Amino acid sequence: MNALNDLIGIINRLEKRMPELETIKADELMLWLNKNQVLTFLLRENLHQPQYTEKVTKVIQFITERRELTLKDLQEIWDAQAGKHEAIVKNVENMLEKLVAHFTSEHLDHLFVCFGNGFETANKRQRERLIELIRRLAVKEREFFAMKALDFLWKLATKPVLFNELMQPALSAHKQILDSCRSQKPLLEWLNRFSEILKEDSNDYDVVCACRQFYDVCSLFSQHSALYTVSQFSEAEVVHQKAVNDDLINVCISNLEHYMQRLAASLVSPLPPSVTYSPLDPISTPSILAIPHVLQIEERLALLRYLAVKGAQPLSLEQLQTLWEALIGSQAEARTPPNAALMVAGQAVCFKWFDPEGNELLREHALAFFEQNILKIEPQRLTPALMK
């Protein structure tokens, strides 16, 4: 520790350009550090001590500011906490938080490689901790790192093998990083990305996450409008523009129609021999079965209602009728195996959504909708939600 204190003293005096140390140059000190592999030695032990770790951080900062930190060095820093006691992990995380502003783009790229490798071997608690670390670093270093963090977390949230475990914490961190932005531009870019995902409708993992994240990101426009340097859009304005310009109301209805068609086909037709259903192996399971049916319905319907209400775009009777036919009516009934338990659970959610007492979108057309649809429901299909 005494030698480390002496080293810190030299670094401090070099930074202050004190005349009594004119014979010691920064380049000479760097040569000495590299030749004697000082960083490797410093990372070998005592990282459970916060004061020691702070001093090591000072040395690494000196190395980094002189563009001398190699990717091998960064890997050593990351490996110093891998699988170690929580105190060491915490101290190294704090070290990275102080250093991230000094990292080059190459360093940041490699750091995300470390994150990715870490998720492959970590348990649930360690993965959640990694997500929190990424969020902390992104908020600390908002620009390049934050943009990479947003992409990384999105891929993590929509990754089949981790979907049920990490979707919510990854999306929560994703939102918090966007919340730290000083401009609305990143928020608008991600909303555009969500719109494209909904239009393409090619991946249920992406669609479910896009539905949930769409209104979470939109809410940020109103929560922190005073922080933006230039007056921009309100939440209602953004939702209205997206609903109108991207025709998202009809996109959501079409998305629900296509989902129900795919679901019915998967229930009627057995899976190919090469594809098996396993909740423990979502990668080998089609997303139509791996993601809970109720979740698929709820997220899509929640976004549809949000767009219509917040965007001041009430649904027409024709749109409501199309939605009913797809989810509950004759089209859904014709495609669905009799008494499919999966469909019954989904229909209960749908019946609740179509309740005019709880959904203002139905009230204008309540009588016509009731006569056209509710009165024609077969008794055996009635659920408590419909009979209220």
Q: Residue 161 domain-assigned?
A: no
**Which tokens in the block code for residue 233?**
């859009």
Domain boundaries, position 219: 182-267+292-387
Q: Residue 236 domain-assigned?
A: yes
Which residue did the predictor score with more confidence, 105 or 287? Answer: 105
Q: Residue 330 domain-assigned?
A: yes
What is the number of domains present in the chain? Answer: 1
Q: Residue 40 domain-assigned?
A: no
Using CB atoms within 10 Å of the CB of residue 194, give its burial: 0 to 12 exposed, 13 to 18 middle, 19+ buried. Answer: buried
CA distance 25 to 17: 10
Q: Residue 335 domain-assigned?
A: yes
Q: Residue 254 domain-assigned?
A: yes
CA distance 28 to 64: 15
Beta strands in the chain (DSSP E): none
What is the predicted pLDDT for the residue at 280?
Answer: 39
Mean pLDDT to the nearest integer, 297-304: 96
Confidence tier at 319 by pLDDT (50, 70, 90): very high
What is the predicted pLDDT for the residue at 339?
Answer: 46
Indicate the SS3 state at residue 295: helix
The mean predicted confidence, pLDDT, of the chain is 85
For residue 306, pLDDT over 70 is answered with yes
Mean pLDDT to the nearest integer, 285-300: 81
DSSP string, 214-267: HHHHHHHHHHTGGG-SS----HHHHHHHHHHHTTHHHHHHHHHHHHHHHHHHHH
What is the predicted pLDDT for the residue at 374?
Answer: 77
What is the predicted pLDDT for the residue at 181?
Answer: 85
Mean pLDDT to the nearest integer, 136-156: 90
Q: Residue 194 domain-assigned?
A: yes
What is the predicted pLDDT for the residue at 373?
Answer: 81
Q: What is the pLDDT of residues 33-54, one digit of tens each?
A: 998 999 999 999 899 999 999 9
Mean pLDDT to the nearest integer, 312-324: 93
For residue 245, pLDDT over 90 is answered with yes
For residue 236, pLDDT over 80 is answered with yes
Pick the closest to residue 136 from 153, 161, 154 (CA basis): 153
In angstroms, what CA-CA distances link 177 with 68, 103, 108, 265? 29, 19, 16, 39
Q: Residue 31 domain-assigned?
A: no
Which residue did the predictor score with more confidence, 388 or 69? Answer: 69
